[in-house]
Amino acid sequence: MQSGPIDYGKLIREGLRSVMSRSLAHTLEHGLYGEQHFYITYYTQHSGVVMPDWLRAQFPEEITIVLEHEFDDLAVMADRFSVELSFNGQPTLLVVPFAAVRMFRDPSVNFQIEFPFSDEDISGQSEPHPAVTIETAEPVAEGDEPQEAEGDPADRVVSLDAFRKK
């Protein structure tokens, strides 16, 4: 095991990817329920992504696929999933490492995970991850509205203290 500080950003990404992989594994075992379906956006240039060259030429950076009524051969492995989808009537096998996924969404229950960006997300090569900062927010006085923070949402920490009863 590598010594050094705990990489909380990496742990969070792994935890969120576990939610996605377990959701896909559940779907494999039980199928989709009712109107349930998934939108999965992933980086097409990530190492380990397998897709036809003609499809990658159409979507050189990222693609969003939909798992709803018509998909075949879904397989879920420890670090990736594969599925056969039809593009313009042509059956196409896709292999997607979980590390390549940028967003996983189930609109039937208003659920969405957006994975924090890191250099590894695109290249598949392990690079230092951006630091994750944990801060304690000052309590918000009663009647005060929380302020909208500026900057990149991935750089902000959300505190629930402002919404708790005192």
CA distance 142 to 162: 9
Higher-pLDDT residue of 131, 86: 86
Domain with 92 in it: 8-123
Tokens of 129: 């991850």
**Residue 132 counted as domain residue:** no
Residue 149 lies in a domain: no
Residues pairing with 82 in the sheet: 75, 95
What single-letter DSSP state applies at residue 37? -
Q: Give the number of C-alpha atoms closer than 13 A to the C-alpha of residue 59, restricted to the C-beta side.
A: 15
Residue 159: inside a domain = no
Q: CATH no. for residue 44?
A: 2.30.30.220
Q: What residue type is assigned to position 95 of the chain?
A: V
- Has residue 162 got a pLDDT over 90? no
Is 128 part of any domain? no
Number of domains in the chain: 1
Cα dist from 66 to 97, 105, 106, 145, 159, whole Å: 16, 10, 10, 38, 33
Look at residue 157 and tell me if it is in a domain.
no
- Report residue 136 CA to chain centroid gap: 26
Q: Is residue 142 part of a domain?
A: no
- For the segment 44-94, what is each residue's pLDDT rounded down to a tens digit? 999 999 999 999 999 999 999 999 988 889 999 999 999 999 988 889 999
- Among 73-87, 92-106, 107-121, which stretch is predicted with the lowest mean pLDDT? 107-121
Q: Say if 160 falls within a structural domain.
A: no
